[in-house]
Amino acid sequence: MNENEIAGAAKAGVGKAESIAGQILDDPGVELQGDARRVEGSIQQMVGDAQTKIADATDKLTETANKVSEQAREAYATVTERVQQTADQVTPFVKEQPLLALAAAALTGLLLGLVYAGRGPKIIYVRPPRL
């Protein structure tokens, strides 16, 4: 509970007591003032409740963002490690046989180009027949 909830509950309680006192004393002014104070206290309680819920939601959102951030860091570290391992394995091969490595890279590039080039739109132009 925050300050608004506590103060609102106190105001609502005092307002209820004041309203009852107005009824007992048959004084409509005191009763009306008590009702107004009770409504004011209830509204302040609702504001405090909303503040508490917003604070809780903010905490949960921050916690979730921290978890996602940590998972992203771990994924980045894993990928970086795997890339470094692959580079460590490929580097000696490239140093020992640079021409073979160049040919393998060119062949891989050619194959990837053929695969992706086959996916594009095909445009066929048809001439109308001459009459």
Express each pLDDT in 89-108 by its tens digit: 989 989 999 999 999 999 99
Domain for residue 122, yes or no? Answer: no
pLDDT of residue 7: 87
CA angle 121, 118, 128 (to 5 degrees): 40
In a domain? residue 130 = no
Judge whether 60 lies within some domain: yes
The answer to the question of residue 129 being in a domain is no
Total domains in the fold of the chain:
1
Range of the domain at 96: 3-117
Res 47: pLDDT: 92
Instruction: Report yes or no on 89 lying in a domain.
Output: yes
Whether the predicted pLDDT of 127 surpasses 70: yes
Residue 123 has pLDDT above 80, yes or no: no
The arithmetic mean of pLDDT across residues 51-67, rounded, is 95
Residue 124 backbone dihedrals phi, psi, to 5 degrees: -120, 125
- Asked if the structure places residue 48 within a domain, the reply is yes
Domain assignment present for residue 125? The answer is no
Establish if 123 belongs to a structural domain: no
